[in-house]
Amino acid sequence: MLKFDHVSKVYKVGTFGGQELRAVNDVSFEVPDGEVVSLIGESGSGKSTIGRMILQLISISSGAISFDDTDISTLKPGARKEYFRKVQGVFQDPFSSYNPIFKADRIFKILKDEFFPHTSQADWNKQVREALAAGGLNPEHVLNKFPHQLSGGQLQRLLIARALLLNIRFLVADEIISMLDASTRIDVLNLLADLKTRGLAILFITHDLSLANYISEKAIILYRGCVAEMGVTEKVFQNPQHPYTRMLMASIPRLDRKWATGDTTLKAEPARTSGCVYYDRCPVHFEKCLQAPPPVEIAPDHQVACWQVTAA
Q: Residue 43 is which amino acid?
A: S
Residue 304 to residue 132: CA distance in whole angstroms: 41
Q: Residue 283 is which amino acid?
A: P
Nearest Cα to Cα of residue 180 among 160, 200, 196:
160
User: How big is the chain by its Cα radius of gyration, in Å?
Assistant: 21
Task: Give me the pLDDT at residue 255, please.
Answer: 60
Task: Give me the pLDDT at residue 195, please.
Answer: 82
Task: Give me the pLDDT at residue 273, please.
Answer: 64
Residue 202 to residue 110: CA distance in whole angstroms: 24
Query: Cβ distance 205 to 47 under 8 Å?
Result: yes
| CA dihedral for 282, 284, 289, 290, sign (positive or negative) | positive
Instruction: Calculate the alpha carbon distances from 263 to 13, 248, 255 in Å.
Output: 30, 10, 20
Residue 191 to residue 235: CA distance in whole angstroms: 25
Task: Give me the pLDDT at residue 268, please.
Answer: 46
Nearest Cα to Cα of residue 22 among 271, 237, 281:
271
Residue 160 to residue 168: CA distance in whole angstroms: 10
Ordered DSSP codes for 172-240? EEESTTTTS-HHHHHHHHHHHHHHHHTT-EEEEEES-HHHHHHH-SEEEEEETTEEEEEEEHHHHHHS-
Widest Cα–Cα separation across the chain: 69
Q: Which CATH superfamily is domain 2-239 in?
A: P-loop containing nucleotide triphosphate hydrolases (3.40.50.300)
**Alpha helices for the chain (secondary structure H):** 47-54, 77-86, 106-115, 121-134, 139-142, 152-166, 182-197, 209-215, 233-238, 243-250, 307-310
pLDDT digits (tens, 9 = 90+) for 125-167: 999 998 888 777 889 899 999 999 998 888 888 888 888 888 8
pLDDT tens, per residue, the chain with 312 residues: 899 999 999 998 877 767 888 899 999 999 999 999 999 998 889 999 999 999 999 999 999 999 999 999 999 988 998 999 899 998 888 788 898 999 988 999 999 998 999 999 999 999 999 888 877 788 989 999 999 999 888 888 888 888 888 888 999 999 887 777 777 777 778 888 888 888 889 999 998 888 888 889 999 999 999 999 999 999 999 999 999 999 988 877 666 666 555 554 545 455 566 789 999 889 888 889 999 899 999 999 999 999 988 765
Query: Cβ distance 144 to 114 under 8 Å?
Result: no
Residue 138 to residue 132: CA distance in whole angstroms: 7
pLDDT digits (tens, 9 = 90+) for 69-85: 999 999 998 899 899 98
